[in-house]
Structure 1
Amino acid sequence: MSTPLLPGATIGIIGGGQLGRMLAMAAARLGYQTIILEPQADCPAAQVATRQIVAAYDDAQALEELARDCAVVTYEFENVPVGAAVSLAHKVAVYPPARALEVAQDRLVEKTTLNAMGIATADFVAVDSDADLAAGLETFDGNGVLKTRRLGYDGKGQRLFRDAKPSDAAGVHASMGNVPLILEAFVPFEREVSVIAARGMDGSVVAYDPAENVHLQGILHTSTVPATASAETLAQARAAASAIAAGLDYVGVIGVEFFVLGDGSIVTNEIAPRVHNSGHWTEAACAVSQFEQHIRAVAGLPLGNPRRHSDCVMENLIGDDIARVASLMAEPDLVMHLYGKAEARAGRKMGHFTRLKR
């Protein structure tokens, strides 16, 4: 795609959750139409998009329709089948590139790729058997986090080991489904931060101020800006995110999560080749949100200024938290965003709000 998309062009979005919804809203503000590819007919994104193709993400006919009717295709989550992205890319521009999906979908590939770029991560070992796990536990002094290499998010697909003996590995691989696993050493971090960065088609990169994140039961609870860390540490995080985007020949918004150690150094936890929950604060505290920034990038438009105009705290509304909405909306300087989900369930993200600090 050599020239920016003109208003009225159509952008395809694979995935119909809340991230797809907010991307579709941002696209509409810039004059674009959107088509959502999502198997769930009543998905949140379809409520605000131009239309929806109700089909599996790898349905050949649906992908053909998406390629035919869209000028560019993007996605809202990292578990889009890589084959579908590669197939689409032969017919229509797809951003971020399929390579980013390949890296992000496998935690072992992700960490190996980041290390090759000179980006520090937790120490890790591949686990394909109980024997591998036993050896890894011995290497890491009995401590570590065992994760599925693929899938798993918000704390799912993980098992914690503390002061474990090699014999504690017996039966674990089978209990986790006999799938490829990765054991990561504990990182003695003081806080978690994330950087939302964007890279344009011309290679330009902008990054929002890092957010400090707090998780509860494996799910993001709050993101606070500015983060409590030194200027040098935050600059390291921005530089790492920019290097990762360049190394992947990336186009679009990327989220990069970091651990901050006691000496101020950083260790990269994971990347997300998409808009990110910890960047939702940007819609309230910046002139250009992460969602508009992503649409700008994939449409070939100039990237916007990521500067924030307010300090803020973003908080997720999980499950029954939806009952708090009316009372929260009575607060001044609070920006509410609900996702259009009909049913509140434990652990389900129903919306978020951002408190601006004046």
Structure 2
Amino acid sequence: MEYPIYLDYNATTPVDPEVLKVMIPYFSTLYGNASSRSHPYGWVAEQAVELARDQLSSLIGARSKEVIFTSGATEAINLGIKGVFEHYKGEEQHYISCVTEHKAVLDTLESIRLKGASVTILPVKSNGDIDLDLLESNITPKTKMICLMWANNETGVIHPIDKLIKIAEKYQIIFFTDAVQAVGKIPVDVKGVHLLALSGHKFYAPKGVGALFIRHNHHLPKPIAMIEGGGQEKNFRSGTLNVPGIVGLGAAAELASQVMYEESERLIKLRDYLEMRLTAIQGTVLNGSQTLRLPHVSNVTFEGVEGDEFLRAVNQHVAVSSGSACTSISPKPSHVLAAMGIESELGRSSLRFSLGRMTTKEEIDQVVKNVIDTYHSLLL
């Protein structure tokens, strides 16, 4: 089978060969359980986990003890939000987020709303930015958490994290950020952040492993565990640790710290070149803020074509998406683009291009040709 050119790195990334090389022994010869502390097999596994914890914490500016390994960002988000809700159980609780968050956040907030929490979902501007004055005006004495993503998975828009941290500190509120699309791609520093979720498979680690950063030595509370059992991960998340996956996550974090800046510059040039070529076509519009965004993401609307048909035709040659991978099975237009005021029909005919380490200039030229040819063949 001849695969299309892959430009869906926001959905997932391949495991980097260097990462895979480090992981392999922990599937076979070094197969110990990290909780088996009475013999060398367990000791080796535990040491590998702690090294990975050091590697990941170094990437995000945390202390090792503040990193809790999970099965991925969705679990980390559930632990962060539901765990805080459980801590404040019996009190009136208010949470603030925004409409362009990932469904993992929005659905989890809806879950605690059904259990009695008050939830404010803020709108966004037409470029995907949030109104900080509106955010601040919605804070009440009952507000427990501000939950806003670091960078948007569909448009690449980066929220002003420093300003959000200052607002949270001013009112002594927990600030929780879904940093899935930011960690390993742009500099991330958890200073001032209370909770941060990340996922390994978004930056060349394997699927099925992620982490939750939990700020220590602060008077604001930590979340209560959602999974109980053996007391692993400092009692925040019980369950036998995925040692090979965690080793891979650590190795990917270390690799990201080494190549991030150079790779970011390379991807910005490729992304800008892609956008220049595509937006030169009559009937195309670039979506999202053009001032502060991820270096590798472009979201483009193609007017005058039927969305599902266009996506299927483009995917014969180029693997792209029309939104989040978690919602790509839905025929509905992107909730992110809808929140930005983009009409349903145009939202469905929008494509997200997300570039990665393996993307080349030659591939971009081929992508542009295939997309343009497909677009012109389907124009209504």
TM superposition score normalised by structure 1: 0.32
Q: Which has the higher helix share?
A: 2
Q: Which has the higher strand share?
A: 1
Determine which structure has more spread, i.e. the larger CA radius of gyration.
2
